[in-house]
Structure 1
Amino acid sequence: MISVVLFFLAFSLLLYVLLGGADFGAGIIELFSSEDNQKITKKTIYRVMGPVWEANHIWIIILIVILWVAFPQYYKVMVTSLHIPITLMLLGITLRGVAFIFRHYDAYEDKSQHIYNWLFRTSSLITPIFLGMIFGGMISSKIVLPTDTVIPSFAEAYVTPWFNFFSFLVGLFFASLCAFLSAVLLIGEADEEGYPIYVRKAKIATIVVVLLGFLTICYGYFTDIIFVLGIIKNPLSIGLVLLSALGLIPLWYAVKKGNRISSRIYAGIQVILIIAVALIPHFPNLLLIQNDSRSLLENIAPDAVINVLGISLIIGGLIIVPGLFHLLKSFKLIKILEND
């Protein structure tokens, strides 16, 4: 049953990156647009993502619940050492949701609209950066756990692990990935006025993702980040990186032509490859602490708990996944059966 739990853990992570990432990316695209294009993007966001945006965050809730119930020791170290960026990330999600609602339903066009717009756009950028910094803190090997002989300072225990240049690069990389996913999604949803905007944004975001990914790997290599060295030394990871690089060719062509289905498929494949490259080399040791690591499978919950959780996830998946598919299909976010 542990395999079922791990499957849903990976599945939730993938869907949150894809759906939640595209959600955040819409605000990032709006932020880095001209005033006229911001108005176009704002209308597109409400029409396309407005009915489904709350559903995107269900996957991070499932992800957290699985970690909490099945892998309590791993969860304890993660949320204790990284509680500051986790809190800031949750605050960003909350503020972003509040701004999203108020700027849409506030009937008066006054200064409050400017505040709501600013809050939505900036939180759309800052929140995925913090999400990336959380992951950067998990893999930077800077987490220091207190022992009988070592009592770290507050900064060493709770600030340094995530507040460093490598984690910041990871945060920027994830934010750029969100913008890329959203731009690709919006290509197929735009009218004639917005279509060239999102094609151009998708091209720019693709370049930024590649450059930031390369910079992050290079910085990690030259500063001896164990996580990055593990990727470079792993033949499978290198193969996946090369496959991802080759996949940019059809992706770029699909984006250039504005093919809404194939561009989404290629974008999804890119995300799967990126997650695989990041997780495969060190799995199950996905929490790298100073001079050591913590295995995801270390001190897991009792078999009885794992069995109940696995059965619950299967039943819940049979209910949620078809419902989500129907929701996305109803608002025409799934176009697999249509022509490009």
Structure 2
Amino acid sequence: MLYVVLFFLIFSLYLYVVLGGADYGAGIVELFSSEENQKITKKTIYRVMGPVWEANHIWIIILIVILWIAFPVYYNILVVNLHIPLTIILLGVTLRGVAFVFRHYDAVIDNSQKLYDAMFKISSLITPIFLGMVFGGLISGEIKLIEDVSTLTFYEAFVRPWCNVFSILVGLFFAALCAFLSSVLLIGESEPGKENIYIRKATIATLVVFIMGLITFVYGYANASTFVNGFIKDPYAIVAMLISGLLLIPLWITIKKGRRVLSRLFAGLQVFLILLAAFISHFPNIIITDTHSVSLLDDIAPDSVINVLGVSLIIGGAVILPGLFHLLKSFKMIKILEQNKNPSL
């Protein structure tokens, strides 16, 4: 059952990065648009995200619950040492949700609409940056695990692990990845004649993702990052990144041609390869402290707990996944089903 639990853990992470990432990226795309294009994007976002934006966040809830129940040591390090960025993320998700609802359903149209717009766009940028910084904090080597925390300053114990150059770069990289995913999604959701707006943004976002990834990698290598050094020495991670690099060519071609199905498939595959490369070189030693690495499998829950959790996830998956598929299909977000009807896909 442990493998079942690990599968759902990784599966939930992937879906949250793809679906939740595209969700955040919609606000980033709107933020970095002209005033005219912001109005177009705002209308498109509401039509596309309105029915599913809450469902996109179910995956991080599943992810957290699995960590909490099955991997308590890992969960404890995460929520204690990185409680500040996690709190900011929670506030960002809350403010973003409030702004998304009220900027569309507020009965009175006044200056408050500008406030809601600003809240939505800024929180859409800040939240994924801090999500990336949390992961950067886990692998930056700045976490200090000692029994007597009083020997450390507050900055050393709870700020430095995530507020450092490497973690910030990881955060910016993830925000760029979110903008990329959303731009690709919006190509197929835009009104007729407006596709070029998102084709251009998807092209720019792809370049930004590549540049930010390169900067993050070079900085980590220059500063002897344990994570980056382990990445370089792992042949599977290198192969995954090489394939990802080669797929940029067909990705750009499908984006330029506005192929909504193929561009989404390539975008999802890009994310899969990036996550695969990031985790395969160190898994299960995902947390890297200043002295050693902490395995996800250290002091896991008893077999009885793992077995119950595994069965619950199987049953839950059998209920949730068909329901999610039906939701996306009902609102015509699964364009691959329409491929035979439109040769331009």
TM-score bin (small chain): over 0.9
Partner of 1:42 in structure 2? 42
Partner of 1:217 in structure 2? 217
Three-state SS of the structure 2 residue aligned to 1:53 is coil
In the TM superposition, residue 127 of structure 1 has moved relative to its aligned partner by: 0.2
What is the RMSD of the two structures over their aligned residues, measured on CA atoms? 1.0
Check if 1:277 corresponds to 2:294.
no
Q: Mean Cα displacement is larger for which, 110-119 or 145-154?
A: 145-154
Partner of 2:169 in structure 1? 169
Q: Give the Cα–Cα distance (whole angstroms) in 2 for the partners of residues 126 and 147 of structure 1.
A: 32
Partner of 1:249 in structure 2? 249
Partner of 2:156 in structure 1? 156
Partner of 1:204 in structure 2? 204
Q: Is the CA contact (8 Å cut-off) linking 2:149 and 2:157 kept in structure 1?
A: no
In the TM superposition, residue 110 of structure 1 has moved relative to its aligned partner by: 1.0
Check if 1:230 corresponds to 2:224.
no
Q: How does 1:1-340 map to 2 (within 5 A)?
A: 1-147=1-147, 151-339=151-339, 340=345
Q: Mean Cα displacement is larger for which, 259-268 or 151-160?
A: 151-160
Q: Is the CA contact (8 Å cut-off) linking 1:244 and 1:270 kept in structure 2?
A: yes
CA displacement, residues 228-276 of structure 1 (integer Å, 9 cap, x when unaligned): 1111111111111110000000000000000000000000000000000
Output the amino acid matched with 1:138: L
**If the length of structure 2 is used for normalisation, what is the TM-score?**
0.97
Q: Give the Cα–Cα distance (whole angstroms) in 2 for the partners of residues 302 and 160 of structure 1.
A: 33
Q: Is the CA contact (8 Å cut-off) linking 1:284 and 1:295 kept in structure 2?
A: yes
Q: Is the CA contact (8 Å cut-off) linking 1:146 and 1:152 kept in structure 2?
A: no
Output the amino acid matched with 1:191: E
Output the amino acid matched with 1:238: I
Q: Give the Cα–Cα distance (whole angstroms) in 2 for the partners of residues 151 and 237 of structure 1.
A: 38
Q: Is the CA contact (8 Å cut-off) linking 1:41 and 1:194 kept in structure 2?
A: no
CA 149–170 in structure 1, closer or farther in 2 if over 3 Å, else same: closer
Output the amino acid matched with 2:64: I
Q: Give the Cα–Cα distance (whole angstroms) in 2 for the partners of residues 75 and 57 of structure 1.
A: 19
Q: Give the Cα–Cα distance (whole angstroms) in 1 for the partners of residues 233 and 294 of structure 2.
A: 20
Q: Give the Cα–Cα distance (whole angstroms) in 2 for the partners of residues 242 and 151 of structure 1.
A: 44
Q: Give the Cα–Cα distance (whole angstroms) in 1 for the partners of residues 102 and 337 of structure 2.
A: 35
In the TM superposition, residue 149 of structure 1 has moved relative to its aligned partner by: 9.6
Three-state SS of the structure 2 residue aligned to 1:336 is helix
CA 147–325 in structure 1, closer or farther in 2 if over 3 Å, else same: same
Three-state SS of the structure 1 residue aligned to 2:54 is helix
Three-state SS of the structure 1 residue aligned to 2:151 is coil
**If the length of structure 1 is used for normalisation, what is the TM-score?**
0.99
Three-state SS of the structure 2 residue aligned to 1:207 is helix
In the TM superposition, residue 336 of structure 1 has moved relative to its aligned partner by: 1.3
In the TM superposition, residue 148 of structure 1 has moved relative to its aligned partner by: 5.4
Number of aligned residues: 340
Three-state SS of the structure 1 residue aligned to 2:162 is coil
Q: Is the CA contact (8 Å cut-off) linking 2:184 and 2:267 kept in structure 1?
A: yes
Q: Is the CA contact (8 Å cut-off) linking 1:26 and 1:183 kept in structure 2?
A: yes
Q: Give the Cα–Cα distance (whole angstroms) in 2 for the partners of residues 18 and 54 of structure 1.
A: 14
Q: Give the Cα–Cα distance (whole angstroms) in 1 for the partners of residues 295 and 326 of structure 2.
A: 37
Output the amino acid matched with 2:249: I
Three-state SS of the structure 1 residue aligned to 2:288 is strand
Three-state SS of the structure 2 residue aligned to 1:171 is helix
CA 148–125 in structure 1, closer or farther in 2 if over 3 Å, else same: closer
Which of structure 1's runs of 4+ aligned residues deviate more than 4 A? none
In the TM superposition, residue 329 of structure 1 has moved relative to its aligned partner by: 0.6
Output the amino acid matched with 1:117: D
Q: Is the CA contact (8 Å cut-off) linking 2:129 and 2:174 kept in structure 1?
A: yes
Output the amino acid matched with 1:9: L
Three-state SS of the structure 2 residue aligned to 1:15 is helix
* Identity among equivalent pairs (%): 66
Q: Is the CA contact (8 Å cut-off) linking 1:136 and 1:162 kept in structure 2?
A: yes
- Structure 1 residue runs without a partner (length 5+): none
In the TM superposition, residue 155 of structure 1 has moved relative to its aligned partner by: 0.7
Output the amino acid matched with 2:293: S
CA 87–174 in structure 1, closer or farther in 2 if over 3 Å, else same: same
Q: Is the CA contact (8 Å cut-off) linking 1:145 and 1:152 kept in structure 2?
A: no
Q: Give the Cα–Cα distance (whole angstroms) in 1 for the partners of residues 287 and 252 of structure 2.
A: 34
